[in-house]
Amino acid sequence: MSRRGWVLFLTLSVIWGAPYLLIKVAVGEVSPVSVVFARCAIGAALLLPWTIYRGQLRPALRHWKPLLLFTVLEMTGPWLLLSWAEQSLSSSLTGLLVAGVPFAAALAARLAGEEERLTPVRLLGMGVGVVGIAVLLGLDLEGAQLLPILAVALVVVGYATAPLIVFRALPDVPGVAASSVALFVTAVVYAPFALPRLDEVAGASTDAVLSLLTLGVLCTAIALALFFVLIREVGPQRALVITFVNPVVAVLLGVWLLDEPFTLGIGLGLPLVLVGCVLATRRSAPRPEPSVEAVDAAAR
């Protein structure tokens, strides 16, 4: 991975390690549909004017079909499912389940005929990363309900397939333009359900309101713009390896901000996750070009 790719990767890993905690705080006082609406409305309010000012809205809308599909798979469906699931699942378990995105992305890429190979080293890295997260957070399914787990599984499918659409069908659409349209559409979809619940936000605590603002500004508007850049820099499969680091960041934020203990699991799991990320993001060696003799032999 290039130096620019690593900077984007690490930045997004930190930014998208926070939403699990923020969503957990918000859904304690605000309904999931209101959380999604607030997140998207804030993000669209920041990105859409810039898109219009740059004259990028109309070119983006020419690709409305793949853009709409991306919106459904990346935002409209997953964000509501994630907020709903975190009403009963812990943020740690949710992050651990979402760490399955790279595997689903690898399967989706193979079905879509992507040329980049999943080398043994990269597969080993993914495996090490999953083991590290399991050690780091622990997998405690006792008392967990099946439907929230299935909801997160659908989130994994959406997160795994949406970047492929960006990479293959939206290469000429600027990231900010695509993000702003997707956020606006999602906000419009949920507006009829969220607007009658505005009293929830008005009566929410300062922590819940700040969580919504942070979700909209940092974890949505800024992060999505950066994510498009990362996809085009390193490819969709490698970009999704950030899901290995996100739960680590979530735990470290808990230790730092909430005075949670730095456990043995964190001490052992964190190095495994980092090693797994390094291995899983290694660029595949180019396929050897066939020699003239081989081509001639095949033609015969």
- The DSSP line for 58-70 is HHHHTTHHHHHHH
pLDDT tens-digit readout, 115-143: 556 678 877 877 887 787 777 656 555 55
> Smallest Cα–Cα separation from 273: which of 128, 154, 169, 146?
128
pLDDT tens-digit readout, 154-175: 998 998 888 788 778 887 888 7
Contacts of residue 299, defined as CB under 8 A and 6 or more positions apart, other chains included, come to none
CB 186 within 8 A of CB 75: yes
User: Taking all residues of the chain, what is their mean pLDDT, rounded to a whole number?
Assistant: 80
pLDDT tens-digit readout, 200-215: 888 899 999 999 999 9
Token pair for 273: 């996750």
What pLDDT score does 134 carry?
74
What pLDDT score does 79 carry?
94
Of residues 183 and 272, more confidently modeled: 183
Kindly indicate the confidence band of residue 289, based on its pLDDT and cuts at 50, 70 and 90: very low
- Answering whether pTM is above 0.85, one says no
pLDDT tens-digit readout, 81-126: 999 998 887 777 777 677 777 767 777 777 766 655 667 887 787 7
Of residues 139 and 14, more confidently modeled: 14
What pLDDT score does 59 carry?
87
What pLDDT score does 45 carry?
95
Task: Specify burial of residue 296 (Cβ count, 10 A radius: 0-12, 13-18, 19+).
Answer: exposed
Q: What is the DSSP letter of 204?
A: S
CB 234 within 8 A of CB 5: yes
CB 133 within 8 A of CB 273: yes
Q: Which of 5-9, 55-59, 289-293 has the highest mean pLDDT?
A: 55-59
**Taking 50 as the threshold, does the pLDDT of residue 290 lie above it?**
no
pLDDT tens-digit readout, 227-257: 878 877 777 666 666 666 777 777 777 677 7
Using alpha carbons only, what angle is made at residue 177 by residues 174 and 181, rounded to the nearest 5 degrees? 145
Kindly indicate the confidence band of residue 266, based on its pLDDT and cuts at 50, 70 and 90: low
Q: Please report how the helices 19-26 and 206-216 are oriented relative to each other, as an axis angle in degrees rounded to 10.
A: 140
**Taking 50 as the threshold, does the pLDDT of residue 296 lie above it?**
no
The number of angstroms, rounded, from the C-alpha of 187 to the middle of its chain's C-alpha atoms is 18
Q: Is 144 helix (H, G, I), strand (E, B) or coil?
A: coil
CB 35 within 8 A of CB 23: yes
